[in-house]
Each structure stands twice: as structure tokens, then as C-alpha cells.
Amino acid sequence: MVRSVPPRVAVAPDAYGHGGRLRPLRDDGVPLGPATQVGDLVAAIADFEAAPVPPRWVWASAESAYAPLLPTRVARCHDLALVESLLLAHEGRFGEPRSLGAAWARLEGLPVPNDLPIGAADAQDSLFVPDRQRLPAGADALDAVVAVHADQLRRIEAIEDPARRSRFRLLVAAESAGGLVAAEMAADGLPWRVEVHNALLTELLGARPRVSGTPPQRLADLAEQLRAALGGRPFNPDSHTQVIKAFADQGIRLTSTRTWYLRDLGHPAADLLIKYKELARLHAAHGWAWQDTWVRGGRFRPEYVVGGVVTGRWAGRGGGALQIPRVLRGAVVADPGRRLVVADAAQLEPRILAAMSRDAGLARSAAAGDLYEALAKAAFQGDRAKAKLGLLGAMYGQTSGDIGPLLATLRRQYPDAMGYVEAAARTGEEGGIVRSRLGRTCPPPSSEWLDLAESGTGEPSGDRGDRGGDDAGVRSARARGRFTRNFVIQASAADWALALLAALRRRLAAYDAAPSGRPHLVFFQHDEIIVHSPADLTDAVSAAIVEAAAEARTLVFGDTPVLLPLIPTVVNTYAEAK
């Protein structure tokens, strides 16, 4: 029988075992009663989740508190670590430690422990879940959860502008939902066929080496061919310095080893180097060693970092979850009786600009199917390439080459959109900060940048040369302007993507009891998602994706004619998706 359900429940799992303590809270964070000890945390949470309106769970982080509870699912949470990061940035304290222990120490006036860097070994002599909460010895975890949560709610309420405060609340909810999604995707895993992966690697690289550390035959052959094409002297093709020297010995001065540069070189060794680099990257990043580490039980199980990039995009703690090479997508195969429903948002960032700037002309173009095609017809005599080049240049601050006249056309045709990004650029150039649609805050300029801007002499380290000091200051300001210009767009796109994930996750939960099994959200990459769905539910899942995209658009941008289309495709393998 479901007990009386409070609006929020604070959770502190036991360090070991399956129990923990719970404390009911009001919506403003004030405790409604004493803490209770439960021996089976999964059963207690499931009991609450059976209510018509389950509570919002308040915990240190989904990574530490929710992941051990899976496959039990909760509807919503308040993730203290993720919210602390958002609040610190919003308050101009970007980069301060965000863990429960750090937030609690700040409240108590104690020394603030540093967060563990991503990927670092945990300072805990234990075989169990690593302690990322960083609470000092003797501190009560549940008391800290309750106190930090109440403090975060007070800080949110301190945002003076009501509209900004309302949008920031949405960001907090969406970011916390992202924590749930990340934990669930890591637990469910992306379907991965090892035998297909092995066949693809063997075809491209040759047989797996018997001795660890030995290059596969195809790489060894390419290395030998490359040496022969450059005079026969031995050198390491993985060493940038040695490659530059090997070409120089043949009278060829390389200024870069990037693929686009090598393609224009017109030398047989350049083509060999391109192929070698491609295969060496595949072998290092997604070869057999990667498979041994990250693929278990027919599933690719990476570690996601929600908000791992300052714009709100996700990162990975390992496994390269956000960089599955196209050549290996054939290894992502649905289980028997299931399909992959793949969807990505085309032309997302220019559409985000149209929605944010409320430029009527750009909104009309963004309401069509192909934004660049519509833009070309409206402003560039049907030349789609020029339309795309101009708009991307405006969003990323590109000014070189022949882009000047294109930007001038855009300013005349779409003054509100161009004014929006140029105002963000000016703010950055002047050392200010900008925010996403929901209130995610960009980092402030570094102290080195501020010194350079104030003195007008010198350059930040890493960008010094024989250029004049005053010019260096201008270049530094423009570089920050390019960053803030794109931040407002890319971070707002991340806002929309988080709202999309939350809306889609809620819709997929409606199929928990489906006879053929529940659909799982198994992949997310900026503007692309994959749902691993029972074959008989693919139509319903496709409709849920379209509905979730529309809901996210309205939640984040309000009433806008701008389309943010997410077109689902049902496939058996990821390689089949366009």
C-alpha cells in the first residue's frame, strides 16, 4: 500500500549494502518529519513511485545515489551536484567544487574539499562505489543533503527577475533529469555486437595482434609504405615531430598534418599518412582494447558526464560514448524482436538562433523544411552554399575570406538575429558574461585575459608571437567575442536537448508494463538520440519523440513558429540511419 507521499524526499544511501535513510521535505526544502532508516532502499523508493504523483528525490548525485538502485526507475529528482554547478556559475563562482561535501562545507564555514577531477583515481580505499561526495569524516550525509538542498532553493529564489527565475527552475529540473538519463543509459547500455565489431576491425586493420602493444598488420604495412615513400629512413609515423622531419628530408615543408592540408599536398606519402592516421585513430580509440574495456554482455557501457562541457553539452569519463565512428556503426544492432529508433535534429543551431532572437524573417525560413534552402531563396538568389556559409559565419564569428558581403546581406535581411549574436559578441569582447535561454552561464574571462585587456600589451600565454601588443589585445577580445557569440546558441541548444530528454523519458515510462518490454533510451549525442524499442512499439516511440521535441520547444522558447524537427527513423542497425 502506498504511503502518504510528500512533495520531496531527501535520500542518503548507506555506504555499503542496500539500505539508507529518507527524510520527507516540503517543496521549499523544510523537513516534514524525522528521518527514517530503511533496510531496502529499492523497495522503499518503489513504494513511493507507485503513487499517482511520486515525490521528487533529493540526493547528492544520480551517479552516487541513483545508479546503485537501477533497474528501479524514478520519475524525477533534484541532483545536488549538477544544480550546485549551475548555481555557482550563475553567481559568478565558476569552477568552484560542486560536490555535496564542498557545498556543505561552504555552508558550515569549513575548508572546502576539492572535487575529484574527471577520470582521477578516487581517494577511497574501498572495493565499492567510489565516494564522490567528499564529505568530511563525521559529517552526516542526510543532514548535508537536506541543508544543501534548502540552500540551493533559497539561492534560486534570490534570482530577482521572475522570468529568469522561472526559466532557471526549468534548467534545474532538466539538468537533474539529464542525470537520471545518463545513469540509465550507462546501466542499459547501447546494443553492441562484438562479432560484427571484430569483423570490421579485421577487415580494416588485419587480424588482432597476438602480442599486446603490437600494431595490427595493416597499420604495420602502411607504416612501411610511408617510410618507403619518404626515402626509406626509419621514423615513427605516430610522432608529429618525426613525420615533419621525414617530409622535410624530402624537401617538403609541412605546416600541418591535418587531413584537409595533406589532401592538397599532392604527394603519394600524404595519402598514405592520411590513411595511416585514420586507422591508427580507430585502433587506439575503438579497437580491441577499447572493446575489452567498454563492451560487456553485448552492451557498450560508457560513463557519461552531464554538463561536462561549459555549454551544457555532455562529455564522457571514458569509452568515447559521444564519438562512435561511422565505420563502426554497423556493430550497433538491435536485439531480436527489437528495433533502433534513431532521430536527430537537423540544422539545430541556426533554428535555435531564430527562436531566441525572434527575428521574423529568419523564423519564417526556420519554419520551412530546409532552413538553408529557404534562406537562399529569401536573401541569396537561391545559392544555398552562400546562405549556409554566411549564417554559420555569423554564429561562429568568421570574418575572413569572402564572407564579409554575406554577413552584410544577413544584417540587412535579418537585423534582429544578427543583432542578437553581435550583442553577445560585444559582451564577450568587453569581458562580460552571457547566458543561455534557461540561464546556463558562460565562464568569466581569465585573469590573464583581464590583464591583457587592461594593459593593452602582451598576449595570453600560448598565443604569443611577433605581433604587436595592442593588436594582441584586440585579437584576444575578438576571440572571447567569438566564444560568447556561439555560447548563447550552443548552450540554448543544450537547454532544448535536456528538456527533450526529460519529456521523452516521461513518455517512454508509460510503456514500463508493455508485454513486449519497455523501450530504452540508449544513446544521446548533442542533437541525436537512439531508443532501443520493442518492434511492436516503434510507431508509438516515434510519435513520442516528435511530441517530446515539440514540448521541449514550447517549454524553452515559448510560442514560436520556429520548427525544431526531430525526425525518427526505424532501423535494425545504427549504420542504416541517415
Helices (H) and strands (E) in the chain, counts: 20, 14
Tally the C-alpha atoms within 13 A of residue 342's C-alpha that lie toward its C-beta: 18
Interval 272-287: pLDDT, tens: 999 999 999 999 999 9
Q: Answer whether 125's CB lies under 8 Å from 111's CB.
A: no
Examine the domain organization and report whether 50 and 150 are in the same domain.
yes
pLDDT of residue 17: 66
pLDDT of 413 above 80: yes
As given in the structure block, the three cell numbers for residue 476 are 584576444
| Averaged pLDDT, 156-160 | 96
Alpha-carbon gap, residue 303 to 490, rounded angstroms: 22
pLDDT of 130 above 70: no
CA–CA distances in Å: residue 522 to residues 186, 342, 508:
8, 10, 12
pLDDT of residue 266: 81
pLDDT of 119 above 70: no
Top mean-pLDDT range of 1-15, 248-262, 480-494: 480-494
Give the DSSP per-residue string, 495-532: HHHHHHHHHHHHHHGGGTT-TT---EEEEEETTEEEEE
Domain membership of residue 2 (yes or no) is no
Examine the domain organization and report whether 208 and 316 are in the same domain.
no
Examine the domain organization and report whether 106 and 50 are in the same domain.
yes
Strands 77-79 and 8-13: unpaired
Q: Give the residue from 167, 188, 209 where a domain finishes.
A: 188
As given in the structure block, the three cell numbers for residue 213 are 602493444
Examine the domain organization and report whether 431 and 479 are in the same domain.
yes
Examine the domain organization and report whether 174 and 285 are in the same domain.
no
pLDDT of 491 above 50: yes
Domain membership of residue 501 (yes or no) is yes
Interval 388-399: pLDDT, tens: 999 999 999 887
pLDDT of 450 above 90: no
Interval 20-64: pLDDT, tens: 999 999 999 999 999 999 999 999 999 999 999 999 999 999 988
Alpha-carbon gap, residue 34 to 139, rounded angstroms: 18
| Averaged pLDDT, 450-464 | 51
Nearest to 476 by CA among 502, 447, 499, 497: 447
Listed as own residue / partner, the contacts of 281-286 with beta carbons closer than 8 Å and 24 or more positions apart are 282/201, 282/204, 282/205, 282/325, 282/327, 282/328, 283/201, 283/205, 283/215, 283/216, 283/219, 285/320, 285/323, 285/325, 286/320, 286/324, 286/325, 286/328
Domain membership of residue 298 (yes or no) is no
Domain membership of residue 74 (yes or no) is yes
Q: Which CATH number is 220's domain given?
A: 1.20.1060
How many of the other CB atoms lie within 10 Å of CB of 344?
Answer: 18
Q: With cut-offs at 50, 70 and 90, classify the pLDDT of residue 454.
A: low
Q: Which residue has the cell 575578438?
A: 478
Examine the domain organization and report whether 529 and 446 are in the same domain.
no
Interval 197-213: pLDDT, tens: 999 999 999 999 988 88
Examine the domain organization and report whether 125 and 156 are in the same domain.
yes
pLDDT of 77 above 50: yes
Q: With cut-offs at 50, 70 and 90, classify the pLDDT of residue 472.
A: low
Examine the domain organization and report whether 173 and 75 are in the same domain.
yes
H or E stretch at 291: helix 288-294
Examine the domain organization and report whether 481 and 538 are in the same domain.
no
CA–chain centroid gap for 337, Å, is: 30
pLDDT of residue 237: 92
Examine the domain organization and report whether 392 and 259 are in the same domain.
no
Alpha-carbon gap, residue 14 to 141, rounded angstroms: 9
Domain that holds residue 237: 194-291
Helix ranges restricted to H, 96-161: 100-108, 141-157
pLDDT of 341 above 50: yes
Which range, of 5-14, 214-223, 464-473, 517-526, averages the lowest pLDDT?
Answer: 464-473
Examine the domain organization and report whether 34 and 164 are in the same domain.
yes
| Averaged pLDDT, 83-106 | 92
pLDDT of 495 above 50: yes
Domain membership of residue 52 (yes or no) is yes
| Averaged pLDDT, 95-105 | 90
Q: Is 215 helix (H, G, I), strand (E, B) or coil?
A: coil
Q: With cut-offs at 50, 70 and 90, classify the pLDDT of residue 129.
A: very low
pLDDT of 90 above 70: yes
Q: With cut-offs at 50, 70 and 90, classify the pLDDT of residue 136.
A: confident
pLDDT of residue 76: 97
Examine the domain organization and report whether 26 and 151 are in the same domain.
yes
Top mean-pLDDT range of 273-287, 363-377, 469-483: 273-287
Domain membership of residue 518 (yes or no) is yes
pLDDT of 456 above 70: no
Q: Give the residue from 157, 188, 219 where a domain finishes.
A: 188
Nearest to 46 by CA among 29, 25, 30, 22: 22
Domain membership of residue 419 (yes or no) is yes
Higher pLDDT, residue 360 or 119? 360
**Number of independent structural domains in the chain:** 4
Which range, of 277-286, 402-411, 449-458, averages the lowest pLDDT?
Answer: 449-458
Domain membership of residue 374 (yes or no) is yes
Q: Answer whether 191's CB lies under 8 Å from 335's CB.
A: yes
Q: Check the CA dihedral 130-132-138-140 and report its sign.
A: negative
Q: Which CATH number is 483's domain given?
A: 1.10.150.20
pLDDT of residue 497: 96
Which range, of 261-270, 325-334, 459-468, 532-541, averages the lowest pLDDT?
Answer: 459-468
